[in-house]
């Protein structure tokens, strides 16, 4: 049965594995380049706002800067791993088998439905997990020097961190298995998977800042880079929240005529700036909460797919 699964999925497995290995190797080489060409005192420039920030003190035409800039662009490809895995590997595992009729043939050859389901699911989920590990090894090695020197969070964006990326990828893979077993047609399953899963991930992103109650403090008391900012707002001298336009009008009354930078005059106008944020030490907990939500959704999709395979002819 392993040979049959390999023949069925070999094209997707080979192409996706080559893509993942290529990206992982690119990030690994970027990590080596960073360690080789950047003195410690220049690493901090990687986080400054001067554009382009990833030149990190090098000339924009320097080959190392060009390569690292290209790597940053390639980093966006990582966010496509979940949908690529779902469309090209997970959905055909069930929808393709049912649509072509090979599922019925296989189930009449003495293979139980439970065994067939487990084999198909394993052929999707195990490579998916391996790809995520390879990518994360490369990404974390690449980000390592900058993180060590300037105190960057080791988690990157929530969607590509060591917990978020694997769980999002496994979730979309499980969603593809479920829609494939449910609809039994590849094209409808792709449409439902893409739309449904991304609606869920979008809703999850909206809820993300509220997994835990944010800490509220005055903006000038919060250290730079202190975790994840949720919201920032001004209040008037009476402590009532006001709009930024109103705050600017009040500050302008204390500024010289024609002054464009009003930030130094907010305090003179009695305006206080507040920020709600999650401290850096919460990042792992927030990641664990999100991973737990995605794990539960993944388990639910797999259970639903298993029941569909068992109960439908």
Q: Give me Rg for the CA atoms of the chain.
A: 25
**12 and 154 housed in the same domain:** yes
**51 and 164 housed in the same domain:** yes
**146 and 252 housed in the same domain:** no
* Average pLDDT score over the chain: 83
pLDDT at 241: 95
**89 and 153 housed in the same domain:** yes
pLDDT at 154: 42
Q: What stretch of H or E contains 273? A: strand 272-278
pLDDT at 181: 94
Per-residue pLDDT band at 311 (split at 50, 70, 90): confident
pLDDT at 51: 44
Cα(242)–Cα(167) distance, rounded to whole angstroms? 40
Mean pLDDT within 143-172: 67
pLDDT at 184: 92
**198 and 224 housed in the same domain:** no
pLDDT at 66: 76
- Could you tell me the end-to-end alpha-carbon distance of the chain, in angstroms, rounded to an integer? 21
pTM of the model: 0.81
**162 and 89 housed in the same domain:** yes
**132 and 235 housed in the same domain:** no
Q: Please determine, for residue 216, whether its predicted confidence score (pLDDT) is greater than 70.
A: yes
Mean pLDDT within 215-226: 78
Q: Which residue has the higher pLDDT, 4 or 129?
A: 129
**52 and 133 housed in the same domain:** yes
**121 and 31 housed in the same domain:** yes
Q: What stretch of H or E contains 284? A: helix 283-311
Strand partners, 243: none
Cα(33)–Cα(148) distance, rounded to whole angstroms? 16
**261 and 183 housed in the same domain:** no
Domain of residue 46 covers 2-210+282-311
Per-residue pLDDT band at 151 (split at 50, 70, 90): very low
166-182 per-position pLDDT tens digit: 999 999 999 999 999 99
**51 and 126 housed in the same domain:** yes
Max mean pLDDT among 141-145, 203-207, 223-227 falls in: 203-207
Number of domains in the chain: 2
**145 and 206 housed in the same domain:** yes
Residue identified by tokens 């009476």 is 238
2-41 per-position pLDDT tens digit: 656 666 778 888 999 999 999 999 989 888 887 777 666 5
CB 166 within 8 A of CB 129: yes
């Amino acid at each position: 049965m392993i040979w049959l699964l390999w023949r069925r999925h070999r094209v997707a497995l080979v192409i996706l594995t080559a893509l993942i290995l290529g990206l992982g190797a690119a990030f690994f080489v970027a990590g080596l380049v960073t360690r080789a060409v950047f003195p410690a005192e220049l690493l901090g420039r990687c986080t400054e706002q001067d554009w382009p920030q990833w030149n990190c003190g090098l000339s924009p035409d320097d080959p190392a800067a060009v390569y690292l800039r290209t790597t940053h662009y390639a980093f966006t490809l990582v966010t496509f791993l979940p949908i690529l895995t779902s469309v090209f590997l997970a959905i055909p595992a069930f929808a393709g088998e049912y649509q072509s009729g090979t599922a019925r043939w296989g189930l009449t050859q003495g293979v139980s439905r439970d065994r067939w389901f487990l084999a198909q699911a394993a052929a999707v989920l195990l490579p998916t997990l391996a790809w995520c590990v390879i990518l994360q090894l490369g990404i974390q090695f690449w980000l390592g020097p900058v993180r060590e020197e300037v105190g960057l969070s080791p988690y990157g964006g929530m969607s590509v961190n060591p917990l978020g990326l694997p769980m999002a990828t496994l979730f979309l893979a499980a969603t593809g298995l479920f829609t494939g077993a449910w609809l039994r047609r590849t094209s409808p399953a792709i449409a439902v998977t893409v739309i449904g899963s991304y609606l869920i991930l979008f809703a999850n992103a909206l809820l993300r800042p509220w997994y835990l109650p944010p800490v509220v403090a005055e903006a000038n008391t919060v250290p730079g880079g202190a975790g994840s900012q949720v919201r920032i707002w001004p209040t008037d001298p009476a402590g009532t929240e006001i709009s930024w336009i109103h705050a600017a009008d009040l500050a302008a009354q204390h500024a010289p005529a024609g002054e464009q930078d009003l930030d130094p005059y907010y305090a003179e106008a009695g305006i206080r700036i507040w920020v709600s944020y999650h401290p850096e030490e919460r990042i792992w907990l927030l990641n664990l909460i999100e991973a737990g939500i995605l794990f539960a959704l993944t388990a639910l999709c797999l259970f639903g797919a298993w029941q569909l395979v068992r109960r439908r002819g």
